[in-house]
Structure 1
Amino acid sequence: MPAQPRSVPETFAFACGDCGHGWEATFQVMFFTDPLDPAGLTTQEYVDEAGRAVRSPLAEAVCPKCGGRKVRVLEAGLAERARKAEHERGEHPPHHRHRPHLPHRAPERPD
């Protein structure tokens, strides 16, 4: 009879490089050891919050808002702290105003 797999909850924070959306998700990381493997190697599987087995969220994350694949994995809690900081200071700091940057003209030389 195979041994029951060990399970460890792990929370990851994500940020989408396409749309800027941030979110967190908790996965159950299941560790399996093959009793017939003489080396005793352990494999792991991720199970999402809905109970579905998924590939590693560290390698295959997709933004739930825009479907983008430019997703970075952050320290858990970091996405929420960044969202809160943006909300507290507003979209742009009050001292910052956007102004057009025009190229400088070279002074004309007299002949």
Structure 2
Amino acid sequence: MTAEPRAVPETFAFTCGDCGHCWEATFQLMFFTDPTDTTGLTTQEYVDEDGKAIRSPLADAVCPKCDGRTVHVLEAGLAARARRAEHEPRPPHEHHEHRLHLPHRHTGPPEDDTR
């Protein structure tokens, strides 16, 4: 393997399906190339913010708040927007009249749906 692997930072946003906690984490996606391999294939590995090699963060995500494993991956930046939305006051709701919407009744002969 090469002594100097290439690294690409990747940021993921997560939300916990158990407690609702949202967070983001940045990982280094490391690419290793074996110089003796004639196919030119690379091996990749994720490294977390603590420098620990891990499997895909998408497969092994654990909520840092409740240790839940029902974690969903979101678009990066979405977790921060969700946190802001939880803490910002909502604009006042415009008053409008609610009406019950019922399907329209057809008074003619039944339509032929045998096309």
What range describes the TM-score normalised by the shorter chain of this pair? 0.7 to 0.9
Question: 2:12 and 2:78 mapped to 1: Cα distance?
Answer: 10
**What is the letter of the counterpart of residue 73 of structure 1?**
V
Equivalent residue for 1:43? Answer: 43
Relative distance call for 1:4 and 1:94 in structure 2 (3 A) is same
How far did 1:94 drift?
Answer: 7.6
Question: What is the TM-score when the length of structure 2 is the normalising length?
Answer: 0.72
Of structures 1 and 2, the larger Rg is shown by: 2
How many residues of Structure 1 are paired with residues of Structure 2 in the alignment? 93
- Structure 1 equivalent of residue 61 of structure 2: 61
Contact preservation (8 Å) 2:2, 2:32: no
Identity %: 78
Instruction: Select between 30-39 and 75-84 the one with higher mean Cα deviation.
Output: 30-39
User: Paired residue for 2:12?
Assistant: 12
Question: Which aligned segments of 4 or more residues in structure 1 are displaced greater than 3 angstroms?
Answer: none
Instruction: Render the CA deviation track for 1:11-59: whole Å, top value 9, x for unaligned.
Output: 1100000000000111111001122222221111111111111111011
The answer to which structure has the higher helix fraction is: 1
Mark the runs of 5 or more structure 2 residues left unpaired by the alignment: 94-115
Q: How does 1:1-111 map to 2 (within 5 A)?
A: 2=2, 4-89=4-89
Unaligned runs of 5+ in 1: 96-111
TM-score (ref. length: structure 1): 0.75
